[in-house]
Amino acid sequence: MTYDLVIKNGTVVDGTGAPRTRADVGVKDGIIVDVGKVSGSARRTIDASDLIVAPGFVDPHTHYDAQICWDDVTSPSCWHGVTSVVMGNCGVGLAPCRPEAREIAAWDLVNVEAIPFDVLKEGVTWDWETFPEYMNAAERRGSGLNLGFLCALTPFRHYVLGEESMERAATPDETAKISQLLREAMDAGAMGFTTTFAGQHIGYQGRPLACRLASRDEHVAYSHVLRDVGRGAIELALTNEVSVLSPTERELLDLLLTESGRPVTWLALLNRTDKPNAAQETLRTASDLLSRGGIPQVTCRPLIVQIDLRKPFLFANMACWNPVFNRPPEEQAKVYRDPQFRAAFREALKTPMIFSGDWERAVVHEVENPAMRPLLGRNVTDIARERGKDPLDTFLDLALEDNLCLQYTYEAFNSDESRIPELIKDPRTIIGLSDGGAHVDMLCDAGYCTYLIGTWVRDREVMTLEHAVKRITTEPAALFGMTQRGRIAPGLAADFAIFDLARIGSGKRGEMRNDLPGGGRRLVVPAQGMEYTIVNGNPLFENGRDTGTRHGQVLRSGRA
Protein backbone atom coordinates (compact mmCIF):
# COMPACT_ATOMS: atom_id res chain seq x y z
CA MET A 1 0.00 0.00 0.00
CA THR A 2 1.05 3.56 -0.64
CA TYR A 3 0.13 5.68 2.33
CA ASP A 4 -0.55 9.40 2.29
CA LEU A 5 1.23 9.72 5.65
CA VAL A 6 3.27 7.45 7.88
CA ILE A 7 4.24 8.47 11.39
CA LYS A 8 7.28 6.36 12.25
CA ASN A 9 8.85 5.29 15.55
CA GLY A 10 6.52 7.26 17.81
CA THR A 11 5.32 6.41 21.30
CA VAL A 12 1.60 5.98 20.75
CA VAL A 13 -0.84 6.93 23.52
CA ASP A 14 -4.09 5.88 21.91
CA GLY A 15 -6.63 7.84 24.00
CA THR A 16 -8.27 4.82 25.66
CA GLY A 17 -6.09 4.85 28.76
CA ALA A 18 -4.18 1.78 27.57
CA PRO A 19 -0.40 1.69 28.18
CA ARG A 20 1.72 3.54 25.64
CA THR A 21 3.37 1.50 22.89
CA ARG A 22 6.11 2.06 20.33
CA ALA A 23 4.39 1.94 16.94
CA ASP A 24 4.07 3.38 13.46
CA VAL A 25 0.79 4.82 12.19
CA GLY A 26 -0.26 4.65 8.54
CA VAL A 27 -2.83 7.06 7.08
CA LYS A 28 -4.76 6.97 3.82
CA ASP A 29 -7.44 9.44 2.68
CA GLY A 30 -7.60 11.05 6.10
CA ILE A 31 -8.25 7.74 7.88
CA ILE A 32 -5.96 5.66 10.09
CA VAL A 33 -5.44 2.35 8.30
CA ASP A 34 -2.57 0.72 10.23
CA VAL A 35 -1.11 0.93 13.73
CA GLY A 36 1.96 -1.17 14.51
CA LYS A 37 4.83 -1.95 12.20
CA VAL A 38 3.99 -0.14 8.97
CA SER A 39 5.83 -1.01 5.77
CA GLY A 40 5.29 0.37 2.32
CA SER A 41 5.82 3.70 0.64
CA ALA A 42 4.35 7.01 1.77
CA ARG A 43 3.90 10.42 0.22
CA ARG A 44 4.97 11.95 3.55
CA THR A 45 6.83 10.39 6.46
CA ILE A 46 7.21 11.96 9.90
CA ASP A 47 9.91 10.60 12.17
CA ALA A 48 8.35 10.71 15.65
CA SER A 49 11.32 9.19 17.48
CA ASP A 50 11.37 10.55 21.06
CA LEU A 51 7.91 12.06 20.57
CA ILE A 52 4.45 11.17 21.87
CA VAL A 53 1.77 10.46 19.25
CA ALA A 54 -1.66 11.11 20.75
CA PRO A 55 -5.13 11.57 19.25
CA GLY A 56 -5.90 15.18 18.44
CA PHE A 57 -7.32 16.86 21.52
CA VAL A 58 -11.06 17.67 21.67
CA ASP A 59 -12.07 20.96 23.32
CA PRO A 60 -15.67 20.71 24.57
CA HIS A 61 -16.14 24.34 25.61
CA THR A 62 -15.31 27.11 23.13
CA HIS A 63 -16.89 30.28 21.79
CA TYR A 64 -15.32 30.46 18.34
CA ASP A 65 -18.79 31.15 16.81
CA ALA A 66 -17.65 34.52 15.43
CA GLN A 67 -13.92 33.90 15.11
CA ILE A 68 -14.35 31.15 12.51
CA CYS A 69 -15.46 33.92 10.12
CA TRP A 70 -11.99 35.50 10.06
CA ASP A 71 -9.59 32.88 11.43
CA ASP A 72 -9.45 29.67 9.45
CA VAL A 73 -7.01 27.97 11.85
CA THR A 74 -9.02 28.73 15.02
CA SER A 75 -6.09 29.94 17.07
CA PRO A 76 -4.76 29.58 19.68
CA SER A 77 -6.40 26.15 20.17
CA CYS A 78 -4.65 24.74 17.10
CA TRP A 79 -1.22 25.60 18.57
CA HIS A 80 -1.90 23.29 21.52
CA GLY A 81 -2.73 20.07 19.67
CA VAL A 82 -6.50 20.63 19.63
CA THR A 83 -7.96 19.26 16.41
CA SER A 84 -11.71 19.46 17.18
CA VAL A 85 -13.63 22.22 18.97
CA VAL A 86 -17.24 22.45 20.12
CA MET A 87 -18.75 25.95 20.07
CA GLY A 88 -22.09 27.61 20.85
CA ASN A 89 -21.77 27.20 24.60
CA CYS A 90 -23.50 29.14 27.42
CA GLY A 91 -26.65 29.93 25.45
CA VAL A 92 -25.10 32.65 23.27
CA GLY A 93 -24.41 32.43 19.54
CA LEU A 94 -24.98 33.87 16.09
CA ALA A 95 -27.58 31.61 14.49
CA PRO A 96 -30.36 31.65 13.59
CA CYS A 97 -30.39 35.39 13.01
CA ARG A 98 -32.52 37.64 10.83
CA PRO A 99 -30.63 40.45 9.07
CA GLU A 100 -32.38 43.13 11.14
CA ALA A 101 -31.25 41.46 14.39
CA ARG A 102 -27.54 41.17 13.67
CA GLU A 103 -26.58 44.08 15.90
CA ILE A 104 -28.48 42.57 18.83
CA ALA A 105 -26.73 39.23 18.35
CA ALA A 106 -23.38 41.00 18.22
CA TRP A 107 -24.04 42.90 21.45
CA ASP A 108 -24.95 39.63 23.14
CA LEU A 109 -21.45 38.40 22.29
CA VAL A 110 -19.93 41.68 23.46
CA ASN A 111 -21.55 41.44 26.88
CA VAL A 112 -21.28 37.69 27.49
CA GLU A 113 -18.03 36.91 25.71
CA ALA A 114 -16.22 40.28 25.86
CA ILE A 115 -15.50 40.39 22.13
CA PRO A 116 -15.27 44.05 21.02
CA PHE A 117 -18.23 45.25 18.94
CA ASP A 118 -15.95 46.82 16.30
CA VAL A 119 -14.21 43.44 15.85
CA LEU A 120 -17.54 41.71 15.31
CA LYS A 121 -18.80 44.46 13.01
CA GLU A 122 -15.77 44.08 10.76
CA GLY A 123 -15.13 40.36 11.07
CA VAL A 124 -18.47 38.52 11.07
CA THR A 125 -19.48 37.58 7.52
CA TRP A 126 -23.23 37.05 8.12
CA ASP A 127 -23.54 34.67 5.17
CA TRP A 128 -26.39 32.77 6.84
CA GLU A 129 -29.78 33.21 8.47
CA THR A 130 -30.82 29.77 9.73
CA PHE A 131 -28.72 27.44 11.84
CA PRO A 132 -28.20 24.86 9.06
CA GLU A 133 -27.09 27.73 6.82
CA TYR A 134 -24.62 28.80 9.52
CA MET A 135 -23.06 25.32 9.55
CA ASN A 136 -22.98 25.23 5.75
CA ALA A 137 -21.29 28.65 5.64
CA ALA A 138 -18.54 27.33 7.90
CA GLU A 139 -18.12 24.35 5.59
CA ARG A 140 -17.83 26.58 2.51
CA ARG A 141 -15.20 28.81 4.13
CA GLY A 142 -13.01 25.89 5.10
CA SER A 143 -11.24 25.37 8.37
CA GLY A 144 -7.98 24.10 9.75
CA LEU A 145 -9.75 22.41 12.67
CA ASN A 146 -12.83 20.22 12.92
CA LEU A 147 -15.81 22.31 14.03
CA GLY A 148 -18.67 21.03 16.17
CA PHE A 149 -21.77 23.19 16.73
CA LEU A 150 -24.17 23.43 19.66
CA CYS A 151 -27.43 25.35 19.38
CA ALA A 152 -27.34 28.35 21.71
CA LEU A 153 -30.93 29.01 22.80
CA THR A 154 -30.67 32.81 22.88
CA PRO A 155 -30.68 33.36 19.09
CA PHE A 156 -33.37 30.70 18.65
CA ARG A 157 -35.67 32.48 21.11
CA HIS A 158 -34.90 35.87 19.57
CA TYR A 159 -35.59 34.53 16.06
CA VAL A 160 -39.15 33.65 17.10
CA LEU A 161 -39.99 36.22 19.82
CA GLY A 162 -37.95 39.21 18.65
CA GLU A 163 -36.94 41.64 21.39
CA GLU A 164 -39.64 40.24 23.65
CA SER A 165 -37.32 37.23 24.07
CA MET A 166 -35.42 39.40 26.58
CA GLU A 167 -38.61 40.15 28.52
CA ARG A 168 -40.75 37.03 28.83
CA ALA A 169 -41.20 33.30 28.38
CA ALA A 170 -42.41 31.88 25.08
CA THR A 171 -46.05 30.99 24.49
CA PRO A 172 -46.89 27.36 23.64
CA ASP A 173 -47.10 28.28 19.94
CA GLU A 174 -43.73 30.07 20.06
CA THR A 175 -42.20 27.18 21.97
CA ALA A 176 -43.36 24.80 19.24
CA LYS A 177 -41.75 27.01 16.57
CA ILE A 178 -38.46 27.13 18.49
CA SER A 179 -38.57 23.36 18.95
CA GLN A 180 -39.05 22.90 15.22
CA LEU A 181 -36.03 25.13 14.50
CA LEU A 182 -34.01 23.14 17.01
CA ARG A 183 -35.09 19.89 15.38
CA GLU A 184 -34.00 21.22 11.97
CA ALA A 185 -30.61 22.12 13.45
CA MET A 186 -30.22 18.64 14.97
CA ASP A 187 -31.17 17.07 11.64
CA ALA A 188 -28.42 19.20 10.04
CA GLY A 189 -25.87 17.82 12.51
CA ALA A 190 -25.92 20.07 15.56
CA MET A 191 -24.59 18.37 18.70
CA GLY A 192 -27.21 19.57 21.18
CA PHE A 193 -28.28 22.83 22.76
CA THR A 194 -26.98 25.21 25.42
CA THR A 195 -28.45 27.68 27.85
CA THR A 196 -27.49 29.64 30.93
CA PHE A 197 -28.85 30.41 34.35
CA ALA A 198 -25.99 32.75 35.25
CA GLY A 199 -26.75 36.28 36.41
CA GLN A 200 -23.60 37.72 34.83
CA HIS A 201 -24.79 36.63 31.38
CA ILE A 202 -26.45 39.81 30.20
CA GLY A 203 -27.08 40.66 26.58
CA TYR A 204 -28.17 43.55 24.39
CA GLN A 205 -28.55 46.85 26.29
CA GLY A 206 -27.67 45.13 29.55
CA ARG A 207 -30.90 43.12 29.54
CA PRO A 208 -30.96 39.45 30.56
CA LEU A 209 -29.65 37.11 27.89
CA ALA A 210 -32.77 35.83 26.13
CA CYS A 211 -32.34 32.17 27.06
CA ARG A 212 -32.43 33.10 30.75
CA LEU A 213 -36.14 33.95 30.32
CA ALA A 214 -37.05 30.48 29.07
CA SER A 215 -39.74 28.77 31.13
CA ARG A 216 -39.67 25.23 32.48
CA ASP A 217 -42.21 24.30 29.79
CA GLU A 218 -39.74 25.52 27.20
CA HIS A 219 -36.91 23.50 28.74
CA VAL A 220 -39.09 20.40 28.63
CA ALA A 221 -39.99 20.95 24.97
CA TYR A 222 -36.40 21.55 23.89
CA SER A 223 -35.20 18.54 25.88
CA HIS A 224 -37.77 16.41 24.09
CA VAL A 225 -36.17 17.33 20.76
CA LEU A 226 -32.97 15.61 21.87
CA ARG A 227 -34.92 12.74 23.39
CA ASP A 228 -36.76 12.19 20.14
CA VAL A 229 -33.69 12.28 17.88
CA GLY A 230 -31.80 10.08 20.36
CA ARG A 231 -28.56 12.05 20.32
CA GLY A 232 -26.93 15.28 21.43
CA ALA A 233 -25.97 16.79 24.76
CA ILE A 234 -27.02 19.85 26.76
CA GLU A 235 -24.59 22.42 28.14
CA LEU A 236 -25.76 24.61 30.99
CA ALA A 237 -24.03 27.52 32.70
CA LEU A 238 -24.81 27.61 36.43
CA THR A 239 -22.30 30.11 37.75
CA ASN A 240 -24.27 32.34 40.08
CA GLU A 241 -22.33 30.78 42.92
CA VAL A 242 -19.49 28.90 41.29
CA SER A 243 -19.18 25.32 42.59
CA VAL A 244 -22.37 25.64 44.68
CA LEU A 245 -25.68 24.34 43.31
CA SER A 246 -28.76 26.17 44.55
CA PRO A 247 -32.05 24.26 44.90
CA THR A 248 -33.34 25.96 41.75
CA GLU A 249 -30.24 24.96 39.79
CA ARG A 250 -30.50 21.37 41.02
CA GLU A 251 -34.13 21.34 39.93
CA LEU A 252 -33.21 22.55 36.43
CA LEU A 253 -30.42 19.98 36.08
CA ASP A 254 -32.81 17.24 37.18
CA LEU A 255 -35.46 18.44 34.72
CA LEU A 256 -33.09 18.51 31.74
CA LEU A 257 -31.66 15.07 32.55
CA THR A 258 -35.11 13.55 33.04
CA GLU A 259 -36.81 15.06 30.01
CA SER A 260 -33.97 14.69 27.50
CA GLY A 261 -32.48 11.36 28.53
CA ARG A 262 -29.19 12.86 27.35
CA PRO A 263 -25.99 13.99 29.11
CA VAL A 264 -26.04 17.48 30.64
CA THR A 265 -22.67 19.12 31.19
CA TRP A 266 -22.72 22.11 33.53
CA LEU A 267 -20.47 24.98 34.63
CA ALA A 268 -18.49 25.25 36.66
CA LEU A 269 -16.70 23.30 39.35
CA LEU A 270 -13.78 25.36 40.60
CA ASN A 271 -11.96 25.71 43.90
CA ARG A 272 -12.75 28.92 45.80
CA THR A 273 -10.78 30.67 48.50
CA ASP A 274 -13.93 31.88 50.28
CA LYS A 275 -15.57 28.41 50.23
CA PRO A 276 -12.65 25.97 50.06
CA ASN A 277 -14.79 22.83 50.32
CA ALA A 278 -17.59 23.91 47.98
CA ALA A 279 -16.50 21.87 44.96
CA GLN A 280 -16.10 18.62 46.86
CA GLU A 281 -19.33 19.20 48.76
CA THR A 282 -21.14 19.73 45.46
CA LEU A 283 -19.75 16.47 44.08
CA ARG A 284 -21.00 14.71 47.20
CA THR A 285 -24.47 16.26 47.36
CA ALA A 286 -25.08 16.07 43.59
CA SER A 287 -24.05 12.42 43.29
CA ASP A 288 -27.56 11.44 42.18
CA LEU A 289 -27.43 13.91 39.28
CA LEU A 290 -23.90 12.88 38.34
CA SER A 291 -24.87 9.21 38.23
CA ARG A 292 -27.61 10.06 35.71
CA GLY A 293 -25.36 11.95 33.28
CA GLY A 294 -24.84 15.33 34.90
CA ILE A 295 -21.21 16.16 34.13
CA PRO A 296 -19.56 19.19 35.76
CA GLN A 297 -16.81 20.93 33.82
CA VAL A 298 -13.48 21.67 35.51
CA THR A 299 -10.22 23.27 34.46
CA CYS A 300 -6.66 22.24 35.19
CA ARG A 301 -5.37 25.81 35.46
CA PRO A 302 -5.63 28.66 37.94
CA LEU A 303 -8.32 30.98 36.62
CA ILE A 304 -6.51 34.31 36.26
CA VAL A 305 -8.48 37.08 34.57
CA GLN A 306 -7.74 40.62 33.49
CA ILE A 307 -10.23 43.25 34.61
CA ASP A 308 -11.04 46.12 32.26
CA LEU A 309 -13.57 48.58 33.71
CA ARG A 310 -14.67 49.60 30.23
CA LYS A 311 -15.92 46.02 29.71
CA PRO A 312 -16.62 44.86 33.28
CA PHE A 313 -17.93 41.33 32.61
CA LEU A 314 -16.74 40.07 35.98
CA PHE A 315 -19.31 42.28 37.74
CA ALA A 316 -22.29 41.64 35.48
CA ASN A 317 -24.11 39.62 38.12
CA MET A 318 -24.26 42.68 40.39
CA ALA A 319 -27.28 44.82 39.51
CA CYS A 320 -25.51 48.03 40.54
CA TRP A 321 -23.11 47.58 37.60
CA ASN A 322 -25.84 47.46 34.93
CA PRO A 323 -25.63 51.23 34.16
CA VAL A 324 -22.01 50.97 32.95
CA PHE A 325 -22.52 48.30 30.30
CA ASN A 326 -22.44 49.43 26.67
CA ARG A 327 -21.81 53.04 27.66
CA PRO A 328 -19.02 55.37 26.49
CA PRO A 329 -16.08 55.78 28.91
CA GLU A 330 -17.08 59.28 29.99
CA GLU A 331 -20.51 58.01 31.13
CA GLN A 332 -18.93 55.01 32.84
CA ALA A 333 -16.53 57.32 34.69
CA LYS A 334 -19.47 59.31 36.09
CA VAL A 335 -20.97 56.12 37.48
CA TYR A 336 -17.68 55.00 39.01
CA ARG A 337 -17.30 58.36 40.78
CA ASP A 338 -20.83 58.30 42.15
CA PRO A 339 -20.87 57.65 45.95
CA GLN A 340 -24.22 55.87 45.60
CA PHE A 341 -22.73 53.41 43.10
CA ARG A 342 -19.79 52.78 45.40
CA ALA A 343 -22.12 52.16 48.34
CA ALA A 344 -24.18 49.72 46.27
CA PHE A 345 -21.01 47.93 45.09
CA ARG A 346 -19.82 47.65 48.69
CA GLU A 347 -23.17 46.19 49.71
CA ALA A 348 -23.14 43.68 46.82
CA LEU A 349 -19.74 42.38 47.92
CA LYS A 350 -21.28 41.21 51.19
CA THR A 351 -22.66 38.27 49.19
CA PRO A 352 -19.85 37.69 46.66
CA MET A 353 -20.30 35.50 43.60
CA ILE A 354 -17.63 35.65 40.89
CA PHE A 355 -15.69 38.64 42.26
CA SER A 356 -15.18 38.19 45.97
CA GLY A 357 -13.59 41.53 46.83
CA ASP A 358 -10.27 40.01 47.90
CA TRP A 359 -8.27 43.11 47.00
CA GLU A 360 -4.89 41.46 47.57
CA ARG A 361 -5.57 39.36 44.48
CA ALA A 362 -6.32 42.43 42.36
CA VAL A 363 -2.97 43.45 40.87
CA VAL A 364 -2.19 46.40 38.57
CA HIS A 365 -1.12 44.76 35.33
CA GLU A 366 -1.20 47.43 32.62
CA VAL A 367 -1.45 51.24 32.52
CA GLU A 368 -1.36 53.93 29.84
CA ASN A 369 -0.47 56.86 32.10
CA PRO A 370 3.36 56.83 32.45
CA ALA A 371 3.10 58.36 35.92
CA MET A 372 1.33 55.22 37.12
CA ARG A 373 3.97 52.73 35.97
CA PRO A 374 5.49 52.42 39.47
CA LEU A 375 2.21 50.75 40.49
CA LEU A 376 2.64 47.84 38.05
CA GLY A 377 2.70 44.51 39.85
CA ARG A 378 1.30 45.92 43.08
CA ASN A 379 -2.00 44.82 44.60
CA VAL A 380 -4.89 47.11 45.52
CA THR A 381 -4.66 46.39 49.25
CA ASP A 382 -1.07 47.63 49.45
CA ILE A 383 -1.76 50.70 47.33
CA ALA A 384 -4.83 51.57 49.42
CA ARG A 385 -2.84 51.21 52.63
CA GLU A 386 -0.12 53.46 51.24
CA ARG A 387 -2.70 56.09 50.24
CA GLY A 388 -4.69 55.78 53.44
CA LYS A 389 -7.81 54.94 51.45
CA ASP A 390 -10.43 52.22 51.34
CA PRO A 391 -9.49 49.37 48.92
CA LEU A 392 -12.78 49.52 47.01
CA ASP A 393 -12.41 53.25 46.47
CA THR A 394 -8.78 52.77 45.49
CA PHE A 395 -9.74 50.06 42.97
CA LEU A 396 -12.07 52.48 41.18
CA ASP A 397 -9.90 55.57 41.64
CA LEU A 398 -6.86 53.96 40.05
CA ALA A 399 -8.88 53.08 36.96
CA LEU A 400 -10.26 56.63 36.78
CA GLU A 401 -6.77 58.09 37.08
CA ASP A 402 -5.81 56.11 33.96
CA ASN A 403 -8.92 57.14 32.00
CA LEU A 404 -10.31 53.60 32.49
CA CYS A 405 -7.40 52.14 30.51
CA LEU A 406 -5.84 50.47 33.54
CA GLN A 407 -5.97 46.67 33.57
CA TYR A 408 -5.94 44.52 36.70
CA THR A 409 -5.24 40.82 36.96
CA TYR A 410 -7.28 38.85 39.44
CA GLU A 411 -6.89 35.24 40.58
CA ALA A 412 -10.56 34.36 40.51
CA PHE A 413 -10.54 30.60 41.18
CA ASN A 414 -8.19 27.63 41.57
CA SER A 415 -5.61 29.92 43.14
CA ASP A 416 -4.63 27.05 45.48
CA GLU A 417 -3.18 24.76 42.83
CA SER A 418 -2.69 21.93 45.31
CA ARG A 419 -6.44 21.30 45.15
CA ILE A 420 -6.75 21.14 41.36
CA PRO A 421 -5.83 17.42 41.13
CA GLU A 422 -8.86 16.34 43.16
CA LEU A 423 -11.08 17.80 40.44
CA ILE A 424 -9.21 16.84 37.28
CA LYS A 425 -8.73 13.24 38.44
CA ASP A 426 -12.37 12.72 39.41
CA PRO A 427 -14.00 10.54 36.70
CA ARG A 428 -17.34 12.30 37.20
CA THR A 429 -15.97 15.57 35.80
CA ILE A 430 -14.89 16.61 32.33
CA ILE A 431 -11.86 18.79 31.71
CA GLY A 432 -12.60 21.84 29.57
CA LEU A 433 -13.63 25.43 30.29
CA SER A 434 -11.12 26.82 27.81
CA ASP A 435 -13.60 29.49 26.62
CA GLY A 436 -11.52 29.63 23.43
CA GLY A 437 -12.52 32.66 21.36
CA ALA A 438 -14.21 34.46 24.26
CA HIS A 439 -13.22 36.94 26.98
CA VAL A 440 -10.46 38.06 24.67
CA ASP A 441 -9.49 40.96 26.93
CA MET A 442 -9.77 38.94 30.16
CA LEU A 443 -8.28 35.48 29.91
CA CYS A 444 -7.06 32.75 27.61
CA ASP A 445 -7.33 29.18 28.85
CA ALA A 446 -7.23 27.61 25.37
CA GLY A 447 -3.85 26.12 26.27
CA TYR A 448 -5.30 23.85 28.96
CA CYS A 449 -4.30 20.64 27.14
CA THR A 450 -0.60 21.43 27.03
CA TYR A 451 -0.80 22.77 30.60
CA LEU A 452 -2.42 19.54 31.80
CA ILE A 453 0.33 17.37 30.34
CA GLY A 454 3.26 19.65 31.10
CA THR A 455 2.24 20.58 34.64
CA TRP A 456 0.19 17.70 36.06
CA VAL A 457 1.74 14.75 34.17
CA ARG A 458 5.40 15.63 33.71
CA ASP A 459 6.22 18.19 36.40
CA ARG A 460 4.00 17.16 39.32
CA GLU A 461 3.31 13.52 38.42
CA VAL A 462 -0.23 13.51 39.78
CA MET A 463 -1.64 11.52 36.85
CA THR A 464 -0.28 9.27 34.14
CA LEU A 465 0.15 10.44 30.58
CA GLU A 466 -2.29 7.79 29.43
CA HIS A 467 -4.96 9.00 31.84
CA ALA A 468 -4.43 12.67 30.96
CA VAL A 469 -4.68 12.02 27.21
CA LYS A 470 -7.87 9.99 27.68
CA ARG A 471 -9.41 12.86 29.63
CA ILE A 472 -8.93 15.34 26.76
CA THR A 473 -9.65 13.02 23.83
CA THR A 474 -11.94 10.02 24.29
CA GLU A 475 -14.02 11.54 27.08
CA PRO A 476 -15.08 14.83 25.43
CA ALA A 477 -15.49 13.06 22.08
CA ALA A 478 -17.88 10.55 23.68
CA LEU A 479 -19.90 13.31 25.37
CA PHE A 480 -20.78 14.82 22.00
CA GLY A 481 -21.09 11.58 20.07
CA MET A 482 -17.87 11.89 18.08
CA THR A 483 -17.41 8.20 17.32
CA GLN A 484 -14.69 8.74 14.72
CA ARG A 485 -12.36 10.88 16.84
CA GLY A 486 -10.52 10.86 20.15
CA ARG A 487 -8.70 7.52 19.64
CA ILE A 488 -5.90 6.10 17.54
CA ALA A 489 -7.20 2.96 15.88
CA PRO A 490 -7.67 1.71 12.32
CA GLY A 491 -10.79 3.09 10.67
CA LEU A 492 -10.86 6.32 12.67
CA ALA A 493 -10.12 9.89 11.59
CA ALA A 494 -6.41 10.68 11.41
CA ASP A 495 -6.27 13.55 13.93
CA PHE A 496 -3.05 13.69 15.96
CA ALA A 497 -1.21 15.79 18.51
CA ILE A 498 2.49 14.92 18.34
CA PHE A 499 4.60 16.43 21.12
CA ASP A 500 7.82 16.34 23.07
CA LEU A 501 6.92 15.29 26.60
CA ALA A 502 10.08 16.93 27.94
CA ARG A 503 9.03 20.36 26.63
CA ILE A 504 5.24 20.44 26.34
CA GLY A 505 3.49 23.14 28.30
CA SER A 506 1.96 26.60 28.38
CA GLY A 507 2.13 29.49 30.82
CA LYS A 508 -0.48 30.59 33.34
CA ARG A 509 -0.80 34.06 31.83
CA GLY A 510 -1.37 35.02 28.24
CA GLU A 511 0.18 37.71 26.09
CA MET A 512 -1.64 40.48 24.24
CA ARG A 513 -1.63 40.58 20.45
CA ASN A 514 -3.36 43.02 18.13
CA ASP A 515 -4.45 40.47 15.56
CA LEU A 516 -8.24 40.71 15.61
CA PRO A 517 -10.13 42.37 12.73
CA GLY A 518 -9.43 46.08 12.68
CA GLY A 519 -6.38 45.64 14.88
CA GLY A 520 -8.38 44.62 17.95
CA ARG A 521 -6.39 43.02 20.72
CA ARG A 522 -6.74 39.71 22.47
CA LEU A 523 -4.98 37.50 25.00
CA VAL A 524 -3.36 34.37 23.63
CA VAL A 525 -1.26 31.62 25.23
CA PRO A 526 1.58 30.23 23.09
CA ALA A 527 2.39 26.52 23.23
CA GLN A 528 5.69 24.81 23.89
CA GLY A 529 6.71 21.36 22.74
CA MET A 530 3.83 20.72 20.31
CA GLU A 531 5.64 19.51 17.20
CA TYR A 532 2.65 18.66 14.98
CA THR A 533 -1.09 19.29 14.94
CA ILE A 534 -2.46 16.96 12.27
CA VAL A 535 -6.08 17.18 11.10
CA ASN A 536 -7.63 14.47 8.93
CA GLY A 537 -4.19 13.20 7.95
CA ASN A 538 -2.70 16.59 7.04
CA PRO A 539 -0.26 18.62 9.18
CA LEU A 540 -1.86 21.95 10.07
CA PHE A 541 0.95 23.15 12.34
CA GLU A 542 4.49 21.85 12.11
CA ASN A 543 7.15 22.99 14.57
CA GLY A 544 4.92 25.91 15.50
CA ARG A 545 4.40 27.06 11.90
CA ASP A 546 1.17 27.13 9.91
CA THR A 547 1.56 24.82 6.91
CA GLY A 548 -1.26 26.50 4.99
CA THR A 549 -3.33 23.31 4.67
CA ARG A 550 -6.99 23.44 5.65
CA HIS A 551 -8.51 19.98 6.00
CA GLY A 552 -10.83 20.45 8.97
CA GLN A 553 -14.41 19.31 8.71
CA VAL A 554 -17.74 20.49 10.04
CA LEU A 555 -18.60 17.72 12.49
CA ARG A 556 -22.22 16.66 12.19
CA SER A 557 -23.71 14.59 14.99
CA GLY A 558 -24.26 10.98 14.04
CA ARG A 559 -21.51 11.30 11.43
CA ALA A 560 -18.59 12.70 13.44
Task: Give the pLDDT band of residue 356 (cuts 50, 70, 90).
Answer: confident
User: Residue 240: what pLDDT?
Assistant: 59
What distance in Å separates the CA atoms of residue 111 and residue 53, rounded to the nearest whole number?
Answer: 40
pLDDT-derived band at 507, boundaries 50, 70, 90: confident
Q: What is the pLDDT of residues 162-218, one digit of tens each?
A: 999 999 999 999 999 999 999 999 999 999 999 998 777 888 887 889 999 999 999
Taking the C-alpha atoms of residue 123 and residue 518, their distance in angstroms, rounded to an integer, is 8
In this prediction, residues 260-289 reach a mean pLDDT of 89
Q: Determine the pLDDT at residue 411.
A: 81
- Dihedral sign of CA atoms 95, 101, 104, 110 in order: positive
| Dist CA 351 CA 337 (whole Å) | 22
Residue ranges in 188-276 assigned as alpha helix (H): 216-229, 247-260
Per-residue burial over 307-323, b if 16 or more Cβ lie within 10 Å, else e, is bbbbbbbbbbbbebbee
Output the pLDDT for position 188.
97
What integer best gives the mean pLDDT of the chain?
93
DSSP 455: I
Q: Report how far residue 363's alpha carbon sits from residue 427's, in angstroms, rounded to the nearest whole number.
A: 35
User: What percent of the chain shows pLDDT beyond 70?
Assistant: 99
Asked whether the CA dihedral 270, 18, 483, 541 is positive or negative, the reply is positive
Pairing between β-strand 233-237 and β-strand 82-87 as defined by DSSP bridges: unpaired
Task: Using DSSP, state whether 303 is helix, strand or coil.
Answer: strand
pLDDT digits (tens, 9 = 90+) for 446-499: 999 999 999 999 999 999 999 999 999 999 999 999 999 999 999 999 999 999
| pLDDT at residue 508, rounded to an integer | 75
Least confident of 15-19, 59-63, 523-527, 556-560: 556-560
Q: How far is it, in rounded angstroms, from Cα 214 to Cα 161? A: 11
Please list the residue range(s) of the chain that carry CATH number 3.20.20.140.
Answer: 55-302+414-546
Q: Is 31's pLDDT higher than 70?
A: yes
Options 2.40.50.140, 3.20.20.140, 3.40.50.800, 3.40.50.2300; CATH of 55-302+414-546: 3.20.20.140
For residues 294 and 216, what is the distance between their CA atoms, to the nearest angstrom? Answer: 18
Measured distance CA(245)–CA(234) in Å, rounded:
17
Q: Which of 71-80, 276-285, 313-322, 467-476 is predicted with the least confidence, judged by mean pLDDT? A: 313-322
Q: Is the pLDDT of residue 99 over 70?
A: yes
Cβ pair 549, 143 in contact under 8 A: no
- The DSSP secondary-structure symbol of 475 reads H
C-alpha 126 chain-centroid distance: 22
